[in-house]
Each structure stands twice: as structure tokens, then as C-alpha cells.
Amino acid sequence: MIRIIEASDRRRVAALLDRAPRRDAAIERRVARIVDRVRRGGDRALLAYARTLDRLDGDIEVTRGEMEAQAATVRREIREAIRMAARHIRHVARLQVPRAWSTSPVNGVTIEQRVLPLDRVGCYVPGGRYPLPSSLLMTAIPARVAGVPEVVAVCPRPDATVMVAALEAGVSRLLRVGGAHAIAALAFGTRTIARVDKIVGPGNAYVASAKALVSSTCAIDFFAGPSEILIVSETGRPDWIAADLLAQAEHDPNARAILMTPNRRLARDTEAAVRRQMPAEGPARQAIAANGAVIVTKTLDEAIALSERMAPEHLVCDSAAAATRLRRAGTVFVGRYSAQAAGDYITGSNHVLPTSGAARARGGLSAADFVRVSTVQRVTAEGIRRVGPAAIALANAEGLRAHAASLRVRLT
């Protein structure tokens, strides 16, 4: 069911690799109406949408007592797995926070880098086919590690595992609301939900569209489209590769799952392994049929070049030597035991990652996304004497006479 394609078939390869974020005009129009109504109507509009779209039939906020009661119903092994994941995420996040520093490029001039946490962050937790406690951990924990004092999590239907994750991550509030209306409430604020500085976390097409719409008003992490996995391999195990392709494909019927290899036998054996492991129905089957492929390249160099062109969300390769050449990816998994699913849950690296080629410019969510990095400048009388004449020369070169005058007055 997965296609084998020659890399020389440029049209079919381009259709798989060159994916700009998909836009749906009907969804964008509906999202724009929802966002505008919540912006103007506040809680009244928010609660109306929550009852209609999220099937809310009680309080919008989950109390700590309710979280603790529900968390107690979760099996011990799941609670322990959530604690382990949280511990690993914190470990990695602590290393990601930018450091403050101070330097003096010349006597009398001091530049300081200041690192301050955002004041309030909104974390979106999907509530669709399956509960996603891992997404709450991946968004809320780095924010807390960065020092954000108020972390608000929204989820349309949080189950008991999400409540365990909320307690473990230390969220300030957990709210039963989702979709575009939740994004609008976080971005603009209502009486129930205070306006946040930044919204992070994955969601469906409505959530992605709403995040894009409010991004001029409220910072977001990045556009999150359908999930992607690209495997570049010469010597991998076909059954393991097939399992990884199907694992990522089950996220979304529009997910992309691709193997690139110069090894024709590996291509054929992986195609057969995918057929054997393919579920009878569900999103993985749909994704493999629509966007799954084995691309046979002439060389490993060609496979690496095509990977760089795609800039995938998840990239898997055989060796450290290949990994050093693969620079454009949300995250890279090296070696046959580095299962992409381990990164989704437990390694500590963040699973909120750029898609649709956005990895050309950035990697995944990190603690650095939750701080303001700014500078403080101090110039003394000696400093202005040292740098002022050069600054005046540059101001005059640009024709900005008032700039030059503001410097000259300090030198006379």
C-alpha cells in the first residue's frame, strides 16, 4: 500500500516533499467569525461555543480537588510514566534557558543581556481522538522551568491522565475549553480567562488557523500542520522502519511518512513490512495511502539533499556521520534504537515541533521560547567620548541630522 518512487520522478517527489502549510478558506472564514465573536463577546461567546462545540455541561474550570480525585483513579504505571517523562523534560529544559551576561566592548560602554520569563502563558492540549497528557507536559513544564509564574492549560475534554499531567507540570489553571474559541480567549482575554503573552501547543486545523489569526496580537510558538516522519537509511531493519512510519502516520490522516534509501532491497522489504503491519482501518492507513512513500535514491548524498529540501518534523537516520550532515529538521533520531515514539513521550526532548518545512528556520519548542531576552545599555562620559564621534559619522552618512545632534550635545 505504500508506494515505491524513484527519486528521478521529480513531479511525484515534489508532491511529497514540497508542502507549504495547507489553507482551507472555509475553515479560515469560520475561525475568523469565532475569534471575532469571542473578542467582542468575551465569556458569553466563549461559554456558548464551549457548550455547543466542546459539549461542556459543567464548570469550565477544573478545580485542584477534582484533578487530585481523578488522578487517583489512574493506574500506577501510567502515573509513574508521567512522572518519569516530566523529570526528563525538566532536565532538558533547564539547559535551554538562555543565560544572562554582561560585557564591555570598550571602556565606558556596558551591554547587559537580561533574561526574564513571560508573565502568563497559554498551553493548548488537544482533546480529539485520544487524550494527550504528553502534550501538556511538553508545553507547561518548559514554561515553568523558564520561570513563568502563571501557566494556563486549555483542553476541551481533559481526562484523568491529562489531570495527572497538569498536577505534575504545576499548571496554574486547567480549563475545559478548546478549539478556536479557546485560542481567542487566551489571546484577547475574557473575565474568566486572563489574556496571555504567548500561546503554545498543537491542535487541529481550527486551532492552527486561530493561532495564525491572533499571532499579530499574541505571540505563538509556530504553525503546526499534520505530522511528518522522514527516515534516511541504508542499513535499517525493514520491520522497524515500517513500524516507525506507521507510528507517526497514526497521528493524522494527512500525516507524511517517508523512507529515503539508495538500497533497493531495503526499499522492497520495507514496503512489504508496511503491508504486513498495516492496520485494517484508521488514520495510519489513510495517511500511508495518501502521503506514504519509499523514495529510492541513487546515493546517500541524494537522500540527504532531498531531506534538507523537505526539512521534516521528525528525521531518523542510521549514523552519527549522517546526522552531522542533516541540519534541517525539527528533531533528529540517530541509530536504529532511537525510536521516534520515544521522543514523543519520554526522552525529555520536546515533541512540539515545526512542520511543513518550518524546520528550515527553527527547531522545536524549548524553555527559551518562554523568556524575554533583552539588553540593557550603559554609557558613561568616557564611553560617549570613545564611541560618539563614530556614531555621529554614521548618523551623518544616513542623513539623520537629529541623531547626530543628540550625540554631539553630549560631547560639547
Residue with cell 535499517: 236
Q: Which three cell numbers stand for residue 380?
A: 558613561
Q: Is 314 a catalytic residue?
A: yes
Backbone angles phi, psi at 133, to 5 degrees: -60, -30
- What is the DSSP pairing of strand 256-261 with strand 292-296? parallel
Q: Is 234 a catalytic residue?
A: no
For residue 54, CA distances in Å to 44, 58, 121, 178, 188 come to: 15, 11, 22, 7, 20
Cα–Cα distance for residue pair 158/121, rounded to 1 Å: 18
The CA dihedral of 289, 291, 292, 298, to the nearest 10 degrees, is 130
Cα–Cα distance for residue pair 243/226, rounded to 1 Å: 19
Residue with cell 502563558: 121
Q: Name which of 353, 23, 355, 382 is nearest 206 in CA terms.
A: 23
Q: Catalytic: which of 314, 351, 382, 398?
A: 314
Q: Catalytic: which of 313, 351, 382, 398?
A: 313
Q: Which residues are catalytic?
A: 313-314
